[in-house]
Amino acid sequence: MADTLNGPVCEASDAAPEFPMPRAARCPFDPPPALKELQETAPLSKVRLWDGSRPWLVTRHADQRALLGDPRVSADTDSPGYPPKADGDGGDSKFGFIMLDDPEHARLRRMVTAPFAVKRVEALRPVVQGIVDGLVDELLAGPRPVDLVEAFALPIPSLVICELLGVPYGDHAFFQENTKTMVHRDATPEQRGQATREIAGYLGGLIGERLADPREDLLSGIAGRVRAGEIDRRMATEMALLLLLAGHETTANMIALGTLVLFRNPGQLALLRESDDPKLVVSAVEELLRYLNITHLGRRRAVTADIEIGGQVLRAGDGLILANEIANRDPEVFPDPDRLDLTRDARRHVAFSFGVHQCLGQPLARMELQVVYGTLFRRIPTLRAAVAFEDVRFKHDAFIYGVHSLPVTW
């Protein structure tokens, strides 16, 4: 009797739901139903991770923006309480600056911001239009059906980031294979570590070449910082790796998944294909970013000093997971949030995150997606899926959501 009374009556850890939660099989474009439920009933609550740790899960748009903009919230994986994504996550690598806090984060980020400024990116628009038109020409001249991921979605951002960095595109099979392993949730720590070492060795070699023989590219800019003594070669390699990885895995998945969701919403697709209003392409891209939020599984952070928010006190040393995918479906900000509406004003989405770590490449990603969605369906008006929807394999197993392949015909 005494045992029963003194035992753990209802340990909070038992009650905390496991994270990540699965999506509903029939709604692969929607966030997991459990996230929606938590947003409605317990927008700031604890979840349980694979290692038994219990970070806070933040689901409301307003709370996420407040916390992502709060200097008491750290992105450093070494901060006490930081929620690990998977066993051996990232090793001791901070991937340049994405897992560092200011002021060091800001110092490093500033070294590579210039090529991603809106003006510089706009100057690249004709180049990207040329790449997209060339790939559409190849599609039209080639066999049908064809995998849109391999033939179109992946080459566009890959060609662009290679051009910017000065990485030879001819090596794309090598680095794409390795970056795929790096973002694969089920890859073992050894596999992820091996892939990271392979690609870091490759990029380190290119930086060495640029140290000896600078050119007009971003790798040479990074090498210049090494020469000036501002960073060491290891950091230079990590920064190059971050840009190469972030520069193509994300946008490629947005292109393929966005095309598929438009196939499933023919009214919206017709609007995009037939509208004469250039502003529609711009708003369509924002809405697709909001609706699909491909960087699922949440932004990870740690609390470094107590924070009072939403009727809760987050303590120093608590972990945080900010699930952007559900913030982008917050009805307080986006009325009728589960409806894809290319005409809505979706600009307040957090698909590029918020605060000091918000996506550095967002002007480039936006411009690439605007060119793609303003071109693809106009040039191939009868473009459609060549497989049953039920047969499409979604990337539930990756840190960046999308589809493994998308056979299309016209």
Name the site residues for ligand HEM (rule: CB under 6 A).
Answer: 75, 97-98, 109, 161, 242-243, 246-247, 250-251, 254, 294-295, 299, 351-353, 357-361, 364-365
Phi/psi-derived region of residue 241, left when phi > 0, alpha when psi is between -120 and 50, beta in every other case: alpha
82, 49 Cβ separation under 8 angstroms: no
Tell me how far, at minimum, the Cβ of 390 lies from ligand HEM, in Å: 26
Nearer to ligand HEM, 8 or 240 (CB): 240
Closer to ligand HEM by Cβ: residue 179 or 250 = 250
Q: Which is nearer to ligand HEM, 44 or 320 (CB)?
A: 320
What is Dmax (Cα atoms) for the chain?
Answer: 80
| Closest separation in Å from C-beta 370 to ligand HEM | 11
Q: Which is nearer to ligand HEM, 110 or 197 (CB)?
A: 110
Nearest Cα residue to 36 out of 20, 12, 60: 60
- For the CB of residue 90, give the shortest distance to ligand HEM in the complex, in Å: 12
Indicate the residue whose CB is closest to ligand HEM: 361
Backbone conformation region of residue 42, classed left if phi is above 0, alpha if psi is from -120 to 50, else beta: beta
Nearest-approach distance from CB 387 to ligand HEM, in angstroms: 24
Nearest Cα neighbor of 366 from 311, 289, 291 is 289
Q: DSSP per residue over 221-280, as a string? A: HHHHHHHTTSS-HHHHHHHHHHHHHHHHHHHHHHHHHHHHHHHT-HHHHHHHHH---HHH
Strand partners, 184: 398
- Smallest distance, Å, CB 160 to ligand HEM? 8
- The first and second tokens of residue 1, run together, are 């009797």
Cα separation, 334 vs 341, whole angstroms: 11
Cβ at position 250, least distance to ligand HEM in Å: 3
Please, what is the minimum distance in Å from the beta carbon of residue 253 to ligand HEM?
Answer: 8
Closer residue to ligand HEM, CB minimum distance, 42 or 66:
66
Q: How many CB atoms lie within 10 A of CB 369?
A: 23
Nearest-CA neighbor of 330 among 23, 56, 39, 66? 39
Residue 113 CB, shortest distance to ligand HEM, in Å, is: 9
Give the shortest CB-115-to-ligand HEM separation in angstroms: 9
383 within 8 A of 410, measured Cβ to Cβ: yes
Contacts by 141-148 with C-beta closer than 8 Å and gap 24+?
144/386, 144/409, 144/410, 145/386, 145/407, 145/408, 145/409, 146/407, 146/408, 146/409, 147/405, 147/406, 147/407, 147/408, 148/255, 148/256, 148/259, 148/405, 148/406, 148/407, 148/408
Instruction: Kindly tell me which of 399 and 410 has the beta carbon lying closer to ligand HEM.
Output: 399
**Closer by beta carbon to ligand HEM, 146 or else 360:** 360
Least distance in Å: CB of 409 to ligand HEM? 26
Evaluate the CA torsion angle 181, 187, 189, 191 in order and state its sign.
Answer: negative
Are 375 and 125 within 8 A, CB to CB? no
Residue 294 vs 408, nearer CB to ligand HEM: 294
| Residue closer to ligand HEM, measured from CB, 60 or 299 | 299
Q: Tell me the CA distances in angstroms from 115 to 123, 188, 213, 318, one per residue in order.
A: 10, 35, 20, 36
CB-nearer residue toward ligand HEM: 130 or 266: 130
